[in-house]
């Protein structure tokens, strides 16, 4: 498994992520915010409140929402 070790808010629902293997880039999560636990994340002000959880190896939000690190790794988009 490849854990998230660093994250920064970019804009809207896009974050920059760095993984423990050195891979890094932007991930747009706007199309992934479905279901009750992700509803609050549709508000960009709330979305930007994520933190990197060392225990989970991913980013998480105060309401308990998170994405599996493998999912984020697969969605990784490195700008050209």
Number of domains in the chain: 1
CA–centroid distance for 5 within its chain: 11
Whether 33 maps to a domain, the answer reads: yes
Whether 62 maps to a domain, the answer reads: yes
pTM of structure: 0.90
Whether 18 maps to a domain, the answer reads: yes
Whether 58 maps to a domain, the answer reads: yes
User: pLDDT tens across 16-38, in order?
Assistant: 999 999 999 999 999 999 999 99
Whether 26 maps to a domain, the answer reads: yes
CA–centroid distance for 37 within its chain: 14
Whether 80 maps to a domain, the answer reads: no
The parent domain of residue 51 ranges over 4-75
pLDDT surpasses 80 at 42: yes
3-state secondary structure the chain: CCCEEEEEEEECCEEEEEECCCCEEEEECHHHCCCCCCHHHHCHHHHCCCEEECCCCEEECCCCCECCHHHHHHHCECCC
CATH code: domain of residue 33: 3.30.2020.10
């Amino acid at each position: 498994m490849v854990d998230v070790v660093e994250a920064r808010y970019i804009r809207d629902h896009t974050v920059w992520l760095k993984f423990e293997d050195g891979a890094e880039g932007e991930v747009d999560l706007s199309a992934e915010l479905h279901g009750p636990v992700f509803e609050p994340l549709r508000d960009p002000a709330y979305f930007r409140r994520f933190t990197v959880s060392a225990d989970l190896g991913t980013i998480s939000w105060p309401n308990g929402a998170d994405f599996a690190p493998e999912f984020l790794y697969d969605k990784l988009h490195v700008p050209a």
